[in-house]
Amino acid sequence: MKTGTPEWIELIQKEIKPFGIVINKDQGSSLAFHARELLEWNKKFNLTAIKDPAEVAVKHFLDSLIPASFILPDSHLLDIGSGGGFPGIPLAILIPSLQTLLIDSVRKKVSFLQYVIRSLNLKNAEAIHARAEELVQNVEFANFFDIIICRALTALDRFVLMSQPLLKENGILIALKGKINQEEINDVYNLGIKGINIEIIKYQLPLYKAERAVVKITMPSSLIHPKP
């Protein structure tokens, strides 16, 4: 099996079904294009250490799609440190009404993201060269996003602190983690944010039985930035 072939698409479609997610033909083709280009660009740029077709399918694409069940249509989503486009591009492909902004601090990675978005004509996705800390300085993004997501980016408490000014009231933070420890959870509660709620959904990746966790953090309040 090669990455991006019909067999590769069928693998994702089969293994994602138990999670209640259905991928249609066009979506499968778009995911396959993203995967093929990921490995092609990876020959020049460091986008991924995972190259085996099945691993790419499960550990990058399937894993990126798991949070879809927490995402409402017509939401605004920010993907911090998107890298090779995960999880932002697969989610934008799966949910056409999801307005997705992908950011990364590495220009070459952003060039790749912009190429994939342009090639797939993803009208609901945009990629820019930026850090979350820089977005905070822009009043346009103050309390703008319904969902902010990151994949193994940083400690949970730091993720909460840098995301809070960008999140709408009652917005959701989603962190995709491997194993999660109680100390990380305690560090978030110790921030003293009134009414914060943390939900941990643990699962195993198909084929590899690798432990994963979706950490869903509901933020009842946000740091309001005055609008001009």
Alpha helices in 53-203 (DSSP H): 53-55, 63-65, 88-94, 107-119, 132-135, 156-163, 182-189
Residues 127, 114 contacting (CB under 8 angstroms): yes
- Is 132 labeled as ligand-binding? yes
Write down how long the chain is.
Answer: 228
Residue 81 assigned as binding residue: yes
35 annotated among ligand-binding-site residues: no
Residue 178 among known ligand-binding residues? no
User: Is-contact 202 211, C-beta < 8 A?
Assistant: yes
Instruction: Output the six-digit token pair for 58.
Output: 């499960």
Rounded-to-integer distance, Cα 205 and Cα 69, Å: 16
Binding site for S-adenosyl-L-methionine, residues?
A: 81, 86, 132-133, 151
Known binding-site positions: 81, 86, 132-133, 151
